[in-house]
Each structure stands twice: as C-alpha cells, then as structure tokens.
Amino acid sequence: MDFYLSMLNLLELCDFSRDKILRDVMSYIVSRGPATAYKIANDLNYHFSQVYRKVRRLEKYGLIERSNGHRGDLLASTVRGLIVCYYYNCASQELILNKLRKNLNIDKEHLARFLDVYLEYAKGGAPIDELPIMIFYALYKGTPQELLSPLLPSVIRYIKGNIISQ
C-alpha cells in the first residue's frame, strides 16, 4: 500500500486487538526477525497456512516487507509495523525504540514521549508512516513546540542526508 494509513485505519483494518496469531507473528518479526514465514510457524508452533495468511495481511498494510519479494524470503518489520507494535505493546518498547531511532539518531526518551502523544492523537486520523512524515504532520497540526523541538534537528539531518545521497 503506497498511501499513508491513519492510526484509525490501521486499527480497523489490521484487527490487531482481536487476532492473537497476527500479534504473535508481528511480535516475532520485531523481536527475532528478520525471519522466514516457515521459521516463524515452526518456532511459534502454528500451522504454516495460518502464518502465511497473517504474513500476507501484515504485508498488505505495510507492517512488514520481504527482502526480495519471494515466498521464502526474510520478513522484516517496517517503520509502520514498529509503530503499530509499539502502540499494542507486542514487543519490548525498549527494543522498538532502539530500532526506530536507528536511522534518525533521536534520543529514546524524546521519541517515546512523541510517540505516546502522537499515537493518542493519531486515533483521529493522523498518518502512521516514516517518522519524519509523522513529525512534520504533528508540526503542521500545531503540536506543542517543546515536544517536537528535540526531534527536528535529527529529522533535518536525515532529510539532508537522503537528498544529498540521491
């Protein structure tokens, strides 16, 4: 899916709150991935067809991605998947924050505070995608400066680095 999904859309479409197997698969990928669907099914003791169906759903909503697009490929979480997992507590928040901050080099405490406020606000339709998009959206919507100012220098460095490398 190439369009931005709001938190409300993800909550409704993914069915995380009611689907234990889906949460278990996502948790495995975040905590122990990247991994193949076969390994996930084996380790979690679920039937392969159940795991493959859940993997297709997670891919459909942009929560995980395959390394090469083939059936036996390694599955890894996307930023969107990490954020949804953070919201649902399906893996250690410390682990998720470490993975999220890797590209932007953002302080964990500032990132956690931002995510907690943003995800509460996001239920109203804010996009859940790459962190720079979410931070600029929050800025655009008038989120208090004291929440965003510690994050902006890292986001600007990230954007400059991506523009220069292209």
Rounded to two decimals, the pTM is 0.86
d(CA 71, CA 162) in angstroms, rounded, equals: 30
CB atoms within 10 A of CB 67: 12
Residues 118-127 have a mean pLDDT of 76
pLDDT digits 0-9 by tens, 72-118:
789 999 998 999 899 889 899 999 999 998 878 888 999 999 999 88
Q: CATH says 5-80 is which class?
A: mainly alpha
Q: Report the range of poorest mean pLDDT among 74-78, 137-141, 156-160.
A: 156-160
Exposure of 116 in the CB half-sphere (CA atoms within 13 A): 8
Q: Which residue has the higher pLDDT, 147 or 9?
A: 147
Phi, psi of 12 (to 5 degrees): -75, -45
Token pair, residue 16, equals 């995380």
Task: Judge whether 23 and 16 are in contact, CB under 8 Å.
Answer: yes
User: For the chain, which residues make up each domain, given as ranges?
Assistant: 5-80, 95-165
